[in-house]
A and B are shown apart, each in its own frame.
Chain A
Amino acid sequence: MILKNLWRRKTRTLLTLLGVAFGVAAVVALSAFGEGFASSFEKMFATTSADLTVSQADAMMAFLSAVDDSLGDELRQVAGVEEVAGEVFGMVQMDEAPYFIVMGEDPRSFTMQRYRLISGQPITTRKQILLGKLAAKNFKKEVGSTFRLNDSTYRVVGIYETGVSLEDGGAVMGLTDAQRAFDKEGKVSYYSLKVKDVRRISEVKAAIEKQWPTLAAARSGEPSRQTEMFGLYRSFGLFIGIFAVLVGGLGMMNTTLMSVFERTREIGVLRAVGWRRRRVVNLILGESLVLSLLGGLLGILIGIGLTLLVRLSPAVESLLQGILTPTMLAQALVIALLLGAVGGLYPAWRAAQLAPVEAMRYEGGSGDVGRITRQLTRWIPGSALRNLLRRPTRTLVTIVGIGLGVGFIVALSAMSEGMIQEFTTLAGAGQMDLVVQDAKASDLSVAALDERVADQVRTQPGVKGVSKMLMKTSSAPGLPYFLVFGADPREDYVKHFRIHEGRVIEKSRDIMIGRFAATSLKKGLGESIRINGVGYQIVGIYETGVSYEDTGGVITLREAQERFGMGRKLTLMGVQLDDPSQAESMARQLEAQFPSITVSLTSAMTQRTQDFATMDAILGALVALTMLVGGVVMMNAMLMSVFERTQEIGVLRAVGWRRRRIIGMVLVESLALSLLSALMGIGIGMGLSALFTLVPTYGTFLKALYSPKVFQQVAALALILGTIGGLYPAWRASRMQPIEALRYE
């Protein structure tokens, strides 16, 4: 009986299935990618033959760490340590791979064993490089080819495979080559250690951390701040997926509700012949569960398909290798069933509430216009809105469903805009005209701009002044993300941190901290604060209005360079010009002259920063997902509305309306629906943003900016949704033959 009922309205059932399936597919694919990315990253550190990894204590991720390479010999002296290998971790932005990971290894060290050669030779001398299997495919290189990286040319001597996609998509070079390539002369990112007796790892760890308070020794696979970050990646996929499922679920509720309305009479008969409410509830709930189960299964298939599809592109594969676990699939099914239960419960309740006698008298409702329209005709202009109000529940459910999707997009793009704005203010500190960045860094956190370039830029004609800037993430007790800025006290940039109390930094142990930081840390002027194991005295408290800055602190540039292993290196550089109107031509001129930098107008800087490109990509994926799921939900609602009104459409055709006019009518309705959804979405989005900022610690960094761009995006989305959602139903409506439509029961 359940299957027969679903079969009765094939198109609707199919669309509902698709809506649920896209949602579930999103959950499956996104969590598979999240899992793949996170576990690939973790494996890089966990599956080594090393027992301990020694890195800078406060570095958020191992690859942001920097340790003196003279430390290696001292570590070897620690009791219980058998072998020590310094490693350099580099990340480069390339056209073929946005995050290309290059490891620098000592060719003789034990860490080299991890790279199993599938062709060629190991590294023996300088300027040689090993490519991962996926990288070789991606860059179309083989043993003997040359490989250009950061303006140097290397010879590919071997191809390896580790089974970890990030490694197989990356490369390995000699330690000294890597130190040069990544501006880490005299430094390594971290040390891998082998101990003599595995049972005594904890002792070794304790001994190292005691001797060097600024270092952290972590067992391979041990939970660390890094793992915490990966937890975020994993939950991110699930988070986006859940939103897709919500939208699909509301679509599902719509379908079940419609099928209850349609069968009001039938339900009346069932009740009249003695069915109890319970049985009616079971019937309706059963339909919705079957539907969601089928949708869930279909979604899992689509999700797996997506995961496999990605393998076709080597560039993406090295970064995103979906890992499907049985738990994930089970999770998806549970979500789908939950959806079915939630989507079916209200309609089932409605069905059970029907009084048998009244239900049997029910006229199918096609002539009914709903209470609201009847009473408010005068105030509701146009038949589109009146038609939507005819089924207020369905319209509301559709609007809320799509509104949720749009809401997420509004919230995320407002945050992203807010972040971009903050970032631009931060980079444009002190009214800079141009921003200079490291051309080869894929991420601001790994940028290393040569300070000598800054000094050369300063002497160029037309340049009024430059500001050197170093920016590093650290942590302080009570603040998990504490941004440390390095500024030269003699340059204009330092004035950007407007002093509220106290004075500007002068000496290497001076620090000024932002207002928020001061509040969170409960510290005041004259007190001291420890960062990366070093104590600083608070000499000033500033406020800039940029949350990144106000939750961080500023120390002298020299001190910051030393503390973060960035000797004579910068994150960013601001340039002030004699004639700001010449900014664009100056930018091009500087880039031509110094190949190692990219120069952007302050306002355009974020466009050239990979972090923001990644964020844009995520937003893009979300928009695509909303269009898919929302489009299906929308189409379903419009299709139901058109079918219900078959006879009316027949009348319109009979009195001479052309197909075109019918199409126009349905499209206007569908656009009205999507517009209302978009408005709802903007409301939901603003609410969500407000909620996000309440999240402890992370919330401080989030600031929503509702720029016209956000609203333009939403308007475009509404237009597209309305069109895809309305086009097919409109076409169906226009194909109805007048007499058949008039005969339609």
Chain B
Amino acid sequence: MTQYVVETHDLTKIYGNGHEVRALDGVNLTVAAGELVAIVGPSGSGKSTLLNMIGALDRPTSGEVVIDGTPLSKVRNLDQFRSQTIGFVFQTHNLIPTLTGQENVEVPMYETTLSGSKRHGRAQELLRLVGLGERMHYLPALMSGGERQRVAIARALANRPSIILADELTGMLDSRTTQDILALLTQLNAQQGTTMIIVTHNHEVARATRRVITFRDGKVQSDVAIRSAYESDLLDWKSSTLGQAILQGDGVPEGLKAIVPQLREAFDKV
């Protein structure tokens, strides 16, 4: 039997009392070791909620998340679990502003038994790995957006987690920097074999991965293994407003109406 790093079983999360929001609605997913997965979907479709559940930041309303074979509902100490198994990279508010790059990378290591000098050594090693060797003693305020995300990635790797969860990590970056960060992630995924789940709006990011999961209204709309850039573009198109319009046959611009059947056929393949 294949060992999945992440499994979700009928994962459901309902927010609010009275005015209910079904942020996740019976999600079943599996992610194998070493996979690099992109999660796309319109805003409010439940991507962040899914990541919070997988990352043990929040408990589901029903259903189960299984990480490395351990059901999260059986885990008593979630803090410890998080620090050992999960690495987070967030869109913003990511680094502690009063700590230098190196100190930020050391933050998760406080909950381990590593000695001070071992911590320093590992933090420096990680920062060199993400290409931030010289600027590790600067405060985040003195770094560029790309540099900050590199520190954040290094910090996520600190305790050798099984999975890295990144929520719109390139959301605030320009496209040049986004390219660099993506290259870094793909490289880390290939070199270290770390499983990565990346939530993104960005087509380029999605295209760089090998599997794209599309969310809509708290459900998995599609889950596709990417074989070519053409497929990836198609997928982008499909999840766009226009793509949705074509699928539903409603509000399609005049010029496109003629090729709707062909487009639908193409969409169905991905």
Contact = CB atoms under 8 A, between A and B. Distances in A.
Contacts, number: 88
A658 interface: yes
Nearest to B79: A658
B141 interface: yes
Interface stretch (B94-102, B212-220, B236-244, B257-265): B94-102
7 A-B pairs with least C-beta separation = A656-B83, A386-B98, A647-B93, A655-B108, A656-B82, A369-B97, A658-B79
Interface string A642-664: 00000110111111111101000
Contacts of B96: 383, 648, 651-652
B155 A655 contact: yes
A366 B97 CA distance: 9
Contacts of A202: none
A654 B138 CA distance: 23
Interface in A693-745: 737-739, 742
Given A369-B141, A377-B139, A661-B111, A653 B79 contact: yes
A290 B218 CA distance: 48
A647 to B, nearest CB: 4
Contacts of B86: 656
Contacts of A650: 93
A661 B58 CA distance: 20
Interface in B84-108: 84, 86-88, 90, 93-100, 103, 107-108
Interface string B50-63: 00100101100000
A651 B94 contact: yes
Contacts of A657: 79, 83, 107-108, 110-111
A358 interface: no
A654 B98 contact: no
A41 to B, nearest CB: 57
Contacts of B81: 656
Contacts of A377: 100, 137-139
Contacts of A647: 93
A656 B141 contact: no
A373 B141 CA distance: 10
Interface of A: 366-369, 373-374, 377-378, 383, 386-387, 390, 647-648, 650-659, 661, 737-739, 742
Contacts of A378: 137
A739 B97 contact: no
A378 B102 CA distance: 12
Nearest to B159: A656
A386 B98 CA distance: 6
Contact of A648 (B82, B97, B110, B142): B97
B114 to A, nearest CB: 13
B43 interface: no
Contacts of A661: 110-111
Interface string B24-59: 000000000000000000000000000010010110
Given A654-B88, A655-B155, A656-B82, 13 more contacts: A369-B97, A377-B138, A383-B98, A652-B96, A654-B57, A654-B90, A656-B84, A656-B108, A656-B159, A657-B83, A738-B57, A739-B58, A742-B57
A368 B93 contact: no
B187 interface: no
A737 B87 CA distance: 18
Contacts of B83: 655-657
24 contacts: A366-B93, A367-B140, A368-B97, A368-B141, A369-B98, A373-B139, A374-B142, A377-B139, A383-B96, A387-B98, A647-B93, A653-B79, A654-B88, A655-B83, A655-B87, A655-B107, A657-B79, A657-B83, A657-B111, A659-B79, A737-B58, A739-B52, A739-B58, A742-B93
B80 interface: yes
Contacts of A390: 97-98
B155 A367 contact: no
B97 A656 contact: no
Interface residues of B, number: 36
B94 to A, nearest CB: 7
B90 A742 contact: yes
A367 B97 contact: yes
Given A383-B99, A386-B98, A390-B98, A654 B141 contact: no
A664 to B, nearest CB: 10
B82 A654 contact: yes
A739 B79 contact: no
A367 B140 CA distance: 9
A725 to B, nearest CB: 20
A369 B108 CA distance: 21
A386 B87 CA distance: 26
Contacts of A739: 52, 57-58
A383 B98 CA distance: 6
A651 B57 contact: no
A595 B91 CA distance: 82
B111 A367 contact: no
A727 to B, nearest CB: 21
Given A387-B98, A651-B90, A742-B90, A656 B80 contact: yes
A406 B260 CA distance: 80
A386 B57 CA distance: 28
A650 to B, nearest CB: 8
Interface centre among B96, B107, B140, B159, by most A CB within 10 Å?
B96
B141 A367 contact: yes
A656 B52 contact: no
Nearest to A653: B79
A374 B84 contact: no
Nearest to B138: A377
Nearest to B94: A651
Nearest to A660: B79
Given A386-B98, A654-B57, A369 B79 contact: no
Contacts of A651: 88, 90, 93-96
Contacts of B84: 656
B222 to A, nearest CB: 27
A394 B81 CA distance: 37
A377 B87 CA distance: 27
Nearest to B51: A739
A373 B137 CA distance: 13
Nearest to A383: B98
A478 to B, nearest CB: 61
Nearest to B111: A656
A221 to B, nearest CB: 65
Contacts of A738: 57-58
Nearest to A743: B48
Contacts of A658: 79-80, 111
Contacts of B139: 369, 373-374, 377
A654 B55 contact: yes
Contacts of B57: 654, 738-739, 742
A659 B137 CA distance: 27
A652 B97 CA distance: 12
A387 B139 CA distance: 13
B122 to A, nearest CB: 14
B75 to A, nearest CB: 12
A392 to B, nearest CB: 13
Contacts of B107: 652, 655, 657
Given A648-B93, A648-B96, A661-B110, A655 B137 contact: no
A549 B82 CA distance: 73
Contacts of B90: 651, 654, 742
Nearest to A652: B107
Nearest to B108: A655
Contacts of B103: 383
A364 to B, nearest CB: 11
Interface centre among B80, B82, B97, B99, by most A CB within 10 Å?
B97
A690 B90 CA distance: 56
Contacts of B159: 656
Interface string B128-172: 000000000111111000000000000100110000000000000
A737 B56 CA distance: 12
A635 to B, nearest CB: 21
A373 B55 CA distance: 33
